[in-house]
Chain A
Amino acid sequence: MKKATIIAKNLTLGYSNRKPKKAVLENLSFQLFENELTCLLGPNGVGKSTLIKAILGQLKSWEGELILNGRDVQSFSNSELSKALSVVLSEPVLPGNMTVGQLVALGRIPHTGWTGRLDAHDRDLVENALYLTKIEYLKDERLSEISDGQRQKAMIARALAQDGRVMVLDEPTAHLDLVNRYQIMHLLRDIAKKQRKSILVVTHDLEIALETADRLLLLGTDLPLISGLPEDLVVTGQLDRILPGDEFLFNIEKGKIEQKKTMSKLIFEGNPTVSFWVKKAIEKAGIRELEHPVFISEGDFTLFYLDQEFHRIGELVDFIFDQKSS
C-alpha cells in the first residue's frame, strides 16, 4: 500500500481580497505519494502557483481539505511546516557572495538552534545532499560564478538538506538547456526513489515529464484536474485536453506534441527515417501536397524530385517552394 503524503479533497482555492470574488481552482482532488515524482502540468494562468501557495500553507482553502502527513496544512505552524516540506521557487536567488556549501547548509536552518550552528548530523545531511545532486565539486564555488543549471542543482540540494518528506519545485527547469533539463528531472526521480521523498514538480516540459514522472497532474482551463500514470493518460488520449484549442494534438507514436495536419499528401520512397525528417521540413515550409514522389538515395544522401538532384533538404524545400509560388 502506497503512503499518501499530501491529500487534497474537493479543494476550492481563490483570493478573497480580489473583486469580484472568483475561485481560481474549484473542486480539486488528488494525492501525492511517497517515493513518487509527480509532475503538475497546465497552461499559464490556470492556477498552478495558487495551488503551490496553498500547499505551502500561504493560502487558506475556501472549501475542502488539504492534508499533509495526515494533518490539515493550516494546522501546521510555520516552523513545523518547514520541517515537513521544502521548496525550490521559480524566483531568482540573489546572494552571489555565498558558496554552494553555505547555501545548502541554509537548508538546516529549521533544525538548528538560534545561532544556526551545524552539528555532525547536520553536516552529514549537507554532504549527502551535495552527493545526491552530484555537486560536491562545487562546494566552495560562489553562486555568482556557477552556471544556471548548477545553481538550480544547488537549490535542490538545499531543499534536500531541509529534510522534509515532501519537496515542491516550481518550474525548476525553466531557463535551462535540454541536457540540464533531463539531468535535473532524472536527478529528482532518483532522489524520490532513494530518499523516499514525495516530490511535486511544476513544469511545462511535457515530454520530459512523460519520461520521468510516476504520476501526472493535468490542470486545464475549465476542466477538472486529471491525475494518473503518464502512460495511462497518453493511451486514453487525455493529454490532448490540456493543449490549447484544436490546433495541436499529442502524437502517440512519437511521444510529442504536434500541429494537427490537414491530410498531408506527401509521397516518399526510400529510408523511412530520412523521409520523416524530409517530410517535417517540407511541412514546416507550409507545403501540404506534392504532385510527384520524392526519391531518397542513402549512399551519398541524394534526394530526387522531378529529375532534379538535391544534396541538402534545404535545397529541395527551396526548389519546391519556388515552384509552388511561380
Chain B
Amino acid sequence: MKNSRTTILFFAAILALIFSFLLNISLGSVSIYPDEILEGLLIGDWIKTSHAQIILNYRLPKALVAMLAGIGLSLSGLQMQTFFRNPLAGPFVLGISSGAGLGVALLMLAGSAFGIAALGSGLSAWAIVGAGTIGAGLVMILVSLVAWRVQDSMTLLIVGLMFGSAVSAVVSVLSYFSGADALKLFTVWSMGSLGGLAWPQVLVLSSVVLIGIFPIIFSVKSFNAMLLGERYAKSMGVNPVYLRWMMILSTGLLAGSITSFCGPIAFIGIAVPHLSRIIWKTADHRILFPGTALLGAILLLLCDVIGQLPGSAQTLPINAVTSLVGAPIVIGLVLKRNFSKEF
C-alpha cells in the first residue's frame, strides 16, 4: 500500500515536470502554444521560422538549464543536510555558492587586478566551470572541517554566513582593482540568469551535472546509514571519511558548475529536500534522491515561469524569484514543524 503511494507520487511528479517544462517554453515575450511546439520539435513543422528560432536557440536551452540547476542544487542540499545531520544545510546557506563565485571572480577579475595580461574575453566554458567547482569544493572542505567539530545548527549556520561574507569581501577587493571590461563581465554574471547559455555551454553543464550525480548513486546506502549519525554509520561498515570526500566532490561539481554558469541561486538547495521529505514522507534516500531531483527541476522551471510573467517582455533575475518562493517555505517549515522530527 505504501509502495503504491510512492509510485503514484513519482508518476504525478513526472507529469508535473512535463507540464512545467511545456509551460516554461511556451511562455515569454511571445506566447507559443504547446501543440505548436510539440509539432515543431517532433516533425520540424513550424508555423513561423521566428518561433523556431525562439524555441530552439533560446527557450529550450534555458528550460534545460533550469532543470539541471534545480536538480543539481537540490541534490547538493539533500546530501549536505543528511551528512551534517543539519536541516539548515544547503549550498547557498553554507557559502558553497559564494565559493563558486570567488572562483569565477578570480578567473574573470584577477587577471586585470594583478596587471597580468587578461585571460581574454573568450573565456571557455570549461574554464568557468573549473574555477567555480574548485572554489565551491574549497569552501565545502572548510565547512566540513568546521562541521566535523560542531554539530550545532546555529554554529554551522553562522560559520557558513561568515565564509560567505569573507568571500564576498575578497570579491569586492578584486572588483575594486580590476579593469572596466572585466568588471562588467563579472557584474553581468553575478546578477544570475538561467538564459543566455548557448548549446555548447548547456552541453558542458549537463555533462558536469551528470558526473556530479554519479557519486550520489554509489553512496545512497551510506547516506541512509548516516541518518543515525556518524558512529552508527561506522558500526554498519560505512566509511564516513570516504563518504565525506564523495559528498565534497559531488556538491562541488553540482553547486560549483551551476553557480558558475547561472550565478547564485538561493533557497532551492535548502527548501526542496524538505519538500520532498514532506511529500514522500520517508527518510529513505533511495526515494528521496530521485524525488528531490524531480521536485527541484519542477520548482526551478516554475520559478522561471513566474520570472517571465510580469510585463512579459522583461524577466526578473531568477535569484530574486527563488528567494521570494523559497524564503516563505523555509520560514513555514521552521515555524510549523519540529525540524528534527521531519528529518
Contact = CB atoms under 8 A, between A and B. Distances in A.
B237 A81 contact: yes
A43 interface: no
B2 to A, nearest CB: 7
Interface in B289-343: 338, 340-343
A114 B215 CA distance: 12
A287 interface: no
Interface residues of B, number: 29
A102 interface: yes
Contacts, number: 87
A78 B340 contact: no
B225 interface: yes
A144 B238 CA distance: 25
Contacts of A162: 236
Nearest to A144: B341
Given A87-B235, A114-B218, A109 B343 contact: no
A116 B238 CA distance: 12
Interface size class of A (residues with CB under 8 A): 20 to 34
Interface in A38-94: 56, 58, 78-79, 81-83, 85-87, 89, 91, 93-94
B214 interface: no
A95 B227 contact: yes
Interface stretch (B43-51, B158-166, B258-266, B278-286): B278-286
Contacts of A87: 231-232, 235
Given A94-B85, A97-B283, A116 B237 contact: no
B224 interface: yes
A114 B246 CA distance: 15
Contacts of B207: none
A94 B229 contact: yes
B2 A94 contact: no
A154 to B, nearest CB: 11
B169 interface: no
Interface in A147-170: 162
A114 B236 contact: no
Contact of A82 (B228, B236, B283, B342): B236
Nearest to B239: A78
Interface string A100-114: 001100110110101
Which of B224, B228, B231, B234 neighbours the largest number of chain A CB atoms within 10 Å of its CB? Answer: B228
A95 B239 contact: no
Contacts of B234: 56, 58, 78
B221 interface: yes
A37 B238 CA distance: 27
Given A82-B236, A89-B232, A116-B286, A94 B227 contact: yes
A109 B277 CA distance: 22
A140 interface: yes
Contact of B220 (A86, A107, A115): A115
A96 interface: yes
A97 B342 contact: yes
A93 B228 contact: yes
Contact of B283 (A86, A91, A98, A107): A98
Contacts of B2: 140
Nearest to A83: B237
A102 B283 contact: yes
A162 B238 CA distance: 13
A91 B229 CA distance: 9
B230 to A, nearest CB: 10
A106 B225 contact: yes
A106 B236 CA distance: 8
B235 A56 contact: yes
22 contacts: A56-B235, A78-B234, A78-B239, A82-B237, A83-B237, A86-B235, A87-B235, A91-B229, A91-B231, A94-B340, A95-B227, A97-B281, A97-B282, A102-B283, A106-B227, A109-B224, A110-B236, A115-B220, A115-B221, A116-B221, A140-B2, A144-B341
Given A95-B283, A144-B341, 18 more contacts: A56-B234, A56-B235, A78-B237, A82-B236, A82-B237, A87-B235, A89-B232, A91-B231, A93-B229, A94-B85, A95-B228, A97-B282, A98-B227, A98-B282, A106-B227, A109-B237, A110-B236, A116-B224
Interface of A: 56, 58, 78-79, 81-83, 85-87, 89, 91, 93-98, 102-103, 106-107, 109-110, 112, 114-116, 140, 144, 162
Question: What are the 6 tightest A-B residue pairs by CB atom distance, in nearest-first order?
Answer: A82-B237, A96-B341, A116-B221, A79-B237, A98-B283, A144-B341
Interface of B: 2, 85, 218, 220-221, 224-225, 227-229, 231-232, 234-239, 277, 281-284, 286, 338, 340-343
